Amino acid sequence: MSAIFGETLSFGQANGPDIRLRVTGDEFYATYETLDGYTAVSDTDRGFFCYGYLHNGVLVSSGVPVTAPPPAGT
């Protein structure tokens, strides 16, 4: 994978519909955003992308899928 800078890509999810996210990064590190600009993280426990937030300096899943309205504080 070469570097991607803000390209919109489609992703399949184990437990949800395909989604489109804006991606920046490469094969070693990448960030994902919803098309509305919210941070998204792959939540392997739930099987879909969720809104992410910083907790003690670490990006974690909110547990709320990006197909739902964003939670307060994200």
What residue segments make up the domains of the chain, in order of their start? 4-65
Give pLDDT, residue 4. Answer: 86
pLDDT for position 1? 55
The reported pTM is 0.85
Q: Note the pLDDT tens digit of each residue in 11-23.
A: 998 888 899 999 9
The conformational region for residue 63 under phi > 0 = left, psi -120 to 50 = alpha, else beta, is: left
38 secondary structure, DSSP code: -
Distance CA 21, CA 42 (A): 11
pLDDT digits 0-9 by tens, 21-55 = 999 999 899 999 999 999 999 999 999 999 999 99
Determine the Cα–Cα distance for residues 65 and 71; give it in Å rounded to an integer.
10
